[in-house]
Structure 1
């Protein structure tokens, strides 16, 4: 029997939980995210307006700012605790408290919309996906990456051991809960096909042993 999806809280509400997440080393994963994003953009030397939905601790925007200081970067998240950490790491960047399901931006406001590890926090990701497309300008790029739910509990436990075996029990639980809450690639593809405003071109593929990635153009 396939591993069922078990939801986790949508928001990391407490400073303790946010700090535990921030203490985990996602350097390799975040670097790969930035590398892969750059690879699908037509040009990176332009002054792009970029929105990071579910920015969390802001580490990806921090990396992007180091690489592309000419980009206009905005991060939005629903967790004040995570935003406090993001602002501490990158006080020069623009971080906004807000809900991915009702983004406080006009239509077609951004050249690029990105999101990393947000979808698994949402019971129904469809409204947030629709909002990401709404605020994306025509011909803009949507780049989403998230965990992929394993087929079995044994596979989940193996991933936790491989990637969080040296972390604290609390951090291991955070990772295990996120894997349990993640969508499979098949579920994500179904969501994209059934969006009221489906993107003109998109692909959703596995990009690691624990991640899928969506690249779409409005």
Structure 2
């Protein structure tokens, strides 16, 4: 994938690249490119609230595994490992993490040497059936090349009674909040990101990917189709983020 350093690229060219990025190779290259500034921009653009969202997912995982002495946890699309590290604070937990971007993983391994990181794809997880009590994913599921296959893999590697915990951005449903959110996401966020990152395209892709992703009831239905017996969701922070909980 070519670097989009031309901020005046025609809209049709940007749209074409946005569609191409959904390929596995395109996603990998994009995240390799943004890796150096990824953590800084995540915290900046979310005003630090991303830490709260990870904490909420971790608290739910802790509750779900309260009766499990040594829960095994897999964090998929781990990026630089922040959610995996949060999950690692659960008493007795063993955390394994996976991502498709070598550059993101290089940063994750330096930040969290106590976690085992694997390079790989969600649609073909390199783990045996029924290996984990929890499978988590923070802000990465919408980038899967094959969403349904990825959810089937989450289900496959979970132990009976295990749970998937998935955090994704959410577009607020209230009209006024939705309008403000989209203005920030489409107009303000890419400009701020452009001040710190060479990959302005990656932050044009972000709002596009959120808009295209099925949210709330629609994604819960996909989880059930993948084999989960139950799926619920909890909007967070004025419906700007959402936590999905699916039970095997």
TM superposition shift of 1:30 = 3.0
Q: Per-residue displacement from partner, 1:58-108 (whole Å, max 9, x unpaired)?
A: 01222333x336210100011111100100101121000111000010000
Residues 175, 11 of structure 1: CA spacing in aligned structure 2 closer, same or farther, 3 A cutoff?
same
Q: Which moved more, 1:29-38 or 1:110-119?
A: 29-38
Q: TM-score, normalised to structure 1's length?
A: 0.81
Structure 1: tracts of 5 or more residues without a match? none
SS across alignment from 2:80 = coil
| Equivalent residue in structure 1 for 2:39, among 2, 22, 44 | 22
Partner of 2:59: 38
The structure-2 alpha-carbon separation of the partners of 1:165 and 1:14, relative to structure 1 and needing over 3 Å to count, comes to: closer
Under a length normalisation based on structure 2, what TM-score does the superposition of the two structures give?
A: 0.72
Structure ID, larger Rg = 2
SS at match of 2:97: strand
1:32 to partner: Cα distance = 2.7
Q: Is the contact made by 2:224 and 2:230 (CA closer than 8 Å) also made in structure 1?
A: no
CA distance in 2, matches of 1:53, 1:60: 10
Does the aligned pair in 2 maintain the 1:47–1:70 contact within 8 Å? yes
Q: Determine helix, strand or coil for the equivalent of 2:142.
A: helix
- The one of 185, 209, 212 aligned to 1:181: 209
| 3-state SS, counterpart of residue 92 of structure 1 | coil
Instruction: Find the counterpart in structure 1 of residue 247 from structure 2.
Output: 217
Could you list the per-position Cα deviations for residues 26-50 of structure 1 after superposition, in whole angstroms to 9, with x for gaps in the alignment? 3531343233332352418732100
CA RMSD of aligned residues (A): 3.0
Distance 1:45 1:190 in 2: 28
User: Does the 8 A contact of 1:149 with 1:179 survive in 2?
Assistant: no
Unaligned runs of 5+ in 2: 1-14
1:13 CA displacement: 4.8
Contact kept in structure 2, 1:206 and 1:212, CA below 8 Å: yes
Q: How does 1:87-98 map to 2 (within 5 A)?
A: 87-98=109-120
Aligned to 2:82: 59
In 1, the alpha carbon distance for the partners of 2:220 and 2:240 equals 16
Contact 2:58–2:86 at 8 Å: present in 1 too? no
Match of 1:36, SS state, is helix
Whole-Å Cα distance in 1 between the matches of residues 186 and 92 of structure 2? 37
Deviation at 1:148, TM superposition (A): 2.6
* 8 Å contact kept, 1:54–1:78: yes
Residue from 118, 123, 146 that aligns with 1:124: 146
In the alignment, is residue 192 of structure 1 matched against residue 219 of structure 2? Answer: no
Q: Which has the higher helix share?
A: 2
1:147–1:211 CA contact under 8 A, matched in 2: yes
Once residues 11 and 186 of structure 1 are traced to their aligned partners in structure 2, the CA distance between those partners, rounded to angstroms, is 29
Contact 1:147 1:178 in 2 (8 A): no
